[in-house]
Amino acid sequence: MEKINVAIYPGSFDPLTLGHMDVIKRAASMCSTLLVGVLNNKEKSPLFSIDERVKILEEATKDMAGVRVSSFDGLLVHFAKASGAHVIIRGLRAITDFDYELQIAQTNRILSNGEIDTVFLATSLEFAYLSSSSVREIASFGGDISKCVLPFVAEQIYAKYE
């Protein structure tokens, strides 16, 4: 299979989960460069700052060839164009993701005059239940998140709720 040149995997990654890691690994094998784009959403008050989220992703992907990490703000299509990417990667966990994801994908295609397409990867079954918000909630009540995130990420999450 011919590889995609540059693709972007965007998200909030607050925090990075094993579901995200699964998508990153699988997408990276399809692209020469996979750029993980961490949204710097100034209106939200995230658990992890943008610098912390970028650092976590850099650490988690340091041994993966062809994976780069960068923050972005503003429109995803502007970031994609500036990065030379024509493909956006998103994971689909369940039918409940579909409406929202389809709407974003179509909006991005229109905003980019048809130049940027979204490719969906079906999340591996073992991570289909996982979300960053449920990880935050479980950790905030002292629950076990070891099946949800990498060990070094779990430590940093628990430290936020100490």
Of 12, 20, 53, 90, which is the active-site residue?
20
The residue with its CB nearest to ligand PNS is 11
Buried b (16+ CB within 10 A) or exposed e, 127-142: beebebeebbeebeee
Task: List the alpha helices (DSSP H) in the chain.
Answer: 18-28, 50-60, 76-83, 95-111, 132-140, 151-160
Q: Does residue 20 carry a catalytic annotation?
A: yes
Q: Binding marks (x or -) toward ligand PNS, 8..47, rule CB under 6 A?
A: --xxx--------------------------x--------
Which residue from 35, 43, 38, 33 is spatially nearest to 15, judged by alpha carbons?
A: 38
The span from the first CA to the last CA of the chain, in angstroms, equals 48
- Out of 53, 90, 93, 136, pick the active-site residue: 93
Sign of the four-CA dihedral 84, 58, 63, 90:
negative
- Residue 111 CB, nearest approach to ligand PNS (Å): 7
Question: 107 or 124: whose CB is closer to ligand PNS?
Answer: 107
Would you call 132 a catalytic residue per the annotation? yes
Using the minimum distance from each CB to ligand PNS, give the nearer residue, 76 or 139.
Answer: 76
Tell me the three state secondary structure of residue 153. Answer: helix
Residues numbered 60 to 119 that lie near ligand PNS (CB under 6 A) are 75-76, 104, 107-108
Does 44 qualify as catalytic in the annotation? yes
| Residues composing the chain | 162
* 149 counts as binding ligand PNS under rule CB under 6 A: no
- Interface residues toward ligand PNS, by CB under 6 A: 10-12, 39, 75-76, 104, 107-108
Task: Show which residues are catalytic.
Answer: 20, 44, 93, 132
